[in-house]
Amino acid sequence: MTQIKWVDDAGNLISCTEKIKVMQQNLAELKAMLQDIFDDGVLMEINENQIKEEMKKIIENISFSYKDN
């Protein structure tokens, strides 16, 4: 996986190596999970494009889950 240059809402580069490491690990886990779901779906003879579209819908509809206190 390529090294992503993470930025904050103001466009400032995130330089904290621990934050970058956590994000890279999270993305690697997500990729592995998506691959498992995709492979299972294809093995169950579900249309590949339909699987990808459903995955995209999930990504497009997520939002920050922590409430401000």
Each residue's pLDDT, cut to its tens digit, for the chain (69 residues) gives 678 999 999 999 999 999 999 999 999 999 999 999 999 999 999 999 999 999 999 999 999 998 875
The tokens for 54 are 């459903």
Residue 33 CA to residue 21 CA, distance in Å, equals 18
- State the pTM of this model: 0.83
Residue 55 CA to residue 38 CA, distance in Å, equals 9
Q: Tell me, what's the pLDDT at 69?
A: 58
Q: Tell me, what's the pLDDT at 2?
A: 76
Q: Tell me, what's the pLDDT at 46?
A: 98
Q: Tell me, what's the pLDDT at 1?
A: 61
The tokens for 51 are 């699987």
